Amino acid sequence: MEKRNRETVRPDNAALAQHPDHFDFALSPAKTAAFAAIGVILVLVAIVAVVNLDAINEFGEENASGRRSRALGPYLGYIVAGLGAVLGSWALVHANRTGTWKLTSGQPLKHRSWVIQGDMDNAHQRLATTDPRVYLPLPVSRRADELRRRLRAYTPEGIPVTYLTLTMGAGKNERHWPVLTFEGAAHEAFQRSASKLGKPYQG
């Protein structure tokens, strides 16, 4: 099963994927179940909307307020059916493509992510010192950009180590920098410093 997971689930972090002897990316049963449940619900909503198309369109037309609502109201049923079908299908497909990182020893990794603004080479060089006096402040933001620049921190529970990755882009076009390992005092310093980086980006 583990071998199948590695072959069918594309890792979402090319930096960690370069070290299969240390990190493993596999399907997450919890995430798979959650996305599957969401997908089924949304598809059912789409089916119900199609069955009751006229009633929903009429409801939308009668309860529309505002210029945009009056324009879209008569088509509410089509909108609900379309969105339910598209988002439901996406969730069902994503259910078999979402995974989680862990050490090859089996220890799961908790992770946080930030959007990096500015020069990635400079950010990596500063972080490589493991000295918060050098790498703080980092140019981070919660607003995603088109370049998909990310700083991610991975930490196994109960082990004083943090693995940092910097990546840009996604999928086959993702560029990554070498993984940075913060152990002992460097790990503790980063964990304290993380609160100064702003709230992690959810995505």
Cα dihedral across residues 106, 112, 118, 123: positive or negative: negative
Residue appearing with tokens 């379309």 = 82
Structure tokens at 49: 């909307």
Task: Spell out the per-residue pLDDT of the chain, length 203, in tens.
Answer: 344 444 456 788 899 999 999 999 887 777 778 888 999 999 999 999 899 888 888 887 777 776 666 677 778 888 989 999 999 888 887 776 678 899 999 899 999 989 988 899 999 999 999 999 999 888 887 777 788 899 999 999 889 999 999 999 877 788 999 999 999 999 999 999 887 776 555 54
Kind of pairing, strands 149-156 and 161-168? antiparallel
The full set of domain ranges for the chain reads 2-27+101-197, 30-95
This prediction's pTM: 0.69
Cα–Cα distance, 165 to 69 (Å, whole number):
45
